[in-house]
Structure 1
Amino acid sequence: MTLPRLDVNDENIHECLYETFKEVRDASPVAHSERYGGYYTLTRYDDVRRAAMNHELFSTAQGVTIPAFGRPVPAIPLEVDPPEHTAYRRMLLPYFRPAAASNFERVIRDVITGAIDGIVGLGEADFYKEIAEPVPPVVVAHLLGMRVEDWTLLRTWVARLIKSSREQEHGANEEASAELFGYLSDLLRDKRADPKDDLLSHLVAEEMDGAPLPDERILGIASLVGVAGHETTVNAIANLLRHIGLNPAVRAALIAHPELIPAAVEEGLRYDAPQIQLARTVRTDCEFAGHRFSQGDKVGLLWGSANRDDRKFDDPDDFKLDRRTNHHLAFGAGAHKCLGEHLARLEIRIVVEEVLRRIPDYRLVDPDAVEWTPGMNREMHALRVTFPVGAA
């Protein structure tokens, strides 16, 4: 059987993303692309979840992006396998539990309050740039102990890394990577000299197997938190605000019953997974999802398709605030499930709360004119809205 072709980096795929996913998913549990040296994609919920849970068969140690993102060191703990992964995750978990995430609520509300203050008198805004974009990287800056104003640098480096890796611009990719890791190296040096109450300072004091963590490992953690820790949450916020703007019934329900916002957050993560694919490398020849894989094959786990699989979800293309069970894979599954999921949920919830409290009547300027960035993230270029001047 010839496998259907699928590559999330295709230039126009996001214009008809879920129609494409359904067509491919219904045709085959496995798709293939010749791009980037050739790779496979798992399209159905059960297969994606099983692969994510099976680190003995599917490794992250050779990188989790297709194409390679451009890191000089592994993203820790995501790009290491158990048992090494287990030790790092156990060490990091206390910094990302719900109680630790809740410590950032005041920061999140202050940032979104300031962002809304800056636009309420204008009557129009780009919600992507002015609402969704600032909050997660500012939170990451606080978490890592960066200068808060440097959040814009993170956004710039991430955009350059994603674009240059997708387009195979190796020189530009190396330059952006060198700038990011140079910044993190300088920050780590500062924390060693003058530790504060932040994650990097705590990592400087951590030990593993009786020895301090090497700089390379700390930088791997910092790069994962700095990049993945904000990029997908920006997308999740923008995508949910877009959907609320497109659906008067959803908007009315959330305004009348703010207690439904957490359910809207979960459904938004399922409905428009902010990161639609991460990858694994096959560790040994095997048969999986009805296909023969060879050692070294790259396999994409298509979260975005799995979350719309009607084998798992009733009416998967409907946004349901009353969905009874919502075991979506927006944060992955298994040993490598996203460490920052509780913090991401908190950020999305608070932003939606504040927007609906203060600018409840926003309207999308052109609901059909969203431009999407190709690649592994569900990322838009802009979200233009209008609203009554002088909203709350």
Structure 2
Amino acid sequence: MSATTAADHMIPQAHADHLAMPAAYADNRIHDTYRWLRANEPMGMAKIDGIDPFWVATKHADILEISRQNDLFHNGDRAATLTSQAADKRVREMMGGSPHLLRTLVQMDAPDHPKYRALTQGWFMPQNLKKLEERIRVIARASVDKMAAKGGECDFVNEVALHFPLHVIMTILGVPESDEPRMLKLTQELFGATDPELGRKPNEAQTTERGEPAFDMGVIIDFNNYFSALSAARRANPTDDLASLIANSQINGAPISDFEAMGYYIIVATAGHDTTSSSTAGAMWALVDNPGQLRKVKADLSLIPGLVDESIRWTTPVKTFMRTLTADTEFAGRQMKQNDWLMLCYASGNRDEEVFEAPDEFRVDRSPNKHLAFGYGAHLCLGQHLAKMEMRILWEELLPRLESVEMAGTPAMSESFFVNGPKRLPIRFKMS
């Protein structure tokens, strides 16, 4: 059978709209859309007012294959996250034609991507992270002690899950503990730009034609100002931290540019804790909703690594990334064109019925668990081993002391189609 075109695979408008609707990622409508797409249009074309048309990959196998073919599916040719036409135009005007406000590993392709990734890769390898285990355990134990001191009730997101991985990554990066609240606020404003509670309040000029908040360049400026000062300090007086490594790195025999150094600092400082926080909070939410799973893992702490992986699959903090076709090709029976835009829906791949038995059930003993939450291929998350180690250690410290837990109010997810997770999780608990 010959390949079909985009016109043959148009996604119904209601489902297409959900893909670009931040609120749909907060109230689970997106999972209804993903379920429909996997069954009926697993590689469809979305057309949404104010946004360039884009292919939508929702099946685990297709997401894997696209992630393997880095020469055919580029990260950097167009915006790497879903962007409106108005926002794209504004960014290109500001950045001299580039679609990127930042140039991080996410926006890079070969030959640059492997060179920049290699700068810090050693820091995040399991053999090096072992040296940090006791340091992380001390931080985890302090977090559990603080939770115990709350008197049996807390917002697990804002009082526990956010601060533990934040402190770990800032310690590694070399950011003083006194500056951690500033880094947390900027991260929430960056990833939660479309959330009415987390994003900066826009003025009229910062509203898109679709009536949504536009990204506030002030967040990037604030990050740049902070890390420019840190970078200058580490160039003058290097120390044994990741900021010193980035500040003094060289690419092709020349010092790393300020623009790309800023991108590196920002991605480590934000992605290095936010996604771990979300998965940790997602785990607690799921355990409260599934007390049988909590009893199971408390009775057998060797299941903690399984709890970690399942909570990462369950939450999938990075919901989507965009890719761009570098050539005309046939893929999944579709005729795709050079420069076509494509959305990878990781949270859909992680609920694919062909890969995961009962994918909408939270199972701490799920095995195998071939989730895609860290990506795959050349862009596999640099910090995956650190994230899993942090979560494992926190649960090793918390679960033996946690006697019971229940909801103490209404939990809530953040509103974002890029990175999202629990933003509020009020719980009532008993601890020993």
Query: Does TM-score exceed 0.5, indicating one fold?
Result: yes
**Is contact 1:33-1:40 (8 Å) kept?**
no
Q: Secondary structure at the match of 1:373?
A: coil
**Is contact 1:279-1:298 (8 Å) kept?**
yes
Q: Does 1:56 align with 2:71?
A: yes
Shift of 1:172: 5.8
Shift of 1:171: 7.1
Relative to structure 1, is the Cα distance of residues 234 and 281 closer, same or farther in structure 2, using a 3 angstrom cutoff?
same
Shift of 1:330: 0.6
Pick one of 414, 417, 420 that aligns with 1:375: 417
Relative to structure 1, is the Cα distance of residues 218 and 372 closer, same or farther in structure 2, using a 3 angstrom cutoff?
closer
Deviations 1:130-182 (A, max 9, x none): 11100122122112111122222122112222344687577761111100111
Count matched residues.
388
Pick one of 14, 19, 29 that aligns with 2:42: 29
Q: Does 1:308 align with 2:325?
A: no
- 1:102 is aligned to 130
Relative to structure 1, is the Cα distance of residues 207 and 163 closer, same or farther in structure 2, using a 3 angstrom cutoff?
closer
TM-score (normalizing by structure 1): 0.91
Deviations 1:272-303 (A, max 9, x none): 21212111122223332233333333211111
| Residue pairs, 1:154-303, within 5 angstroms | 154-164=183-193, 168=208, 173-303=216-346
- 1:7 is aligned to 19
Q: Secondary structure at the match of 1:319?
A: coil
Shift of 1:258: 0.8
Relative to structure 1, is the Cα distance of residues 23 and 154 closer, same or farther in structure 2, using a 3 angstrom cutoff?
same
Cα distance in 1 between the residues matched to 2:167 and 2:81: 25
Relative to structure 1, is the Cα distance of residues 165 and 194 closer, same or farther in structure 2, using a 3 angstrom cutoff?
farther
**Is contact 2:191-2:416 (8 Å) kept?**
no
Letter of the 1:66 partner, please give it. L
Identity in percent: 28
- 1:334 is aligned to 377
Pick one of 291, 311, 318 that aligns with 2:361: 318
Cα distance in 2 between the residues matched to 1:205 and 1:99: 23
Relative to structure 1, is the Cα distance of residues 164 and 268 closer, same or farther in structure 2, using a 3 angstrom cutoff?
closer
Q: Once superposed, what is the RMSD of the aligned Cα atoms? A: 2.3
Cα distance in 2 between the residues matched to 1:294 and 1:373: 32
Pick one of 145, 154, 158 that aligns with 1:117: 145
- 2:169 is aligned to 140
Relative to structure 1, is the Cα distance of residues 360 and 271 closer, same or farther in structure 2, using a 3 angstrom cutoff?
same
- 1:359 is aligned to 402
Cα distance in 2 between the residues matched to 1:147 and 1:348: 22
Shift of 1:33: 4.2
**Is contact 2:234-2:247 (8 Å) kept?**
yes
- 1:66 is aligned to 82
- 2:116 is aligned to 88
Pick one of 157, 168, 189 that aligns with 1:128: 157
Relative to structure 1, is the Cα distance of residues 365 and 200 closer, same or farther in structure 2, using a 3 angstrom cutoff?
same
- 1:39 is aligned to 54
**Is contact 1:98-1:342 (8 Å) kept?**
yes
Moved more, 159-168 or 283-292: 159-168
Moved more, 373-382 or 218-227: 373-382
Cα distance in 1 between the residues matched to 2:173 and 2:391: 20
Cα distance in 1 between the residues matched to 2:301 and 2:340: 46
Cα distance in 1 between the residues matched to 2:243 and 2:364: 38
TM-score (normalizing by structure 2): 0.83
Cα distance in 1 between the residues matched to 2:20 and 2:131: 36
**Is contact 1:42-1:300 (8 Å) kept?**
yes
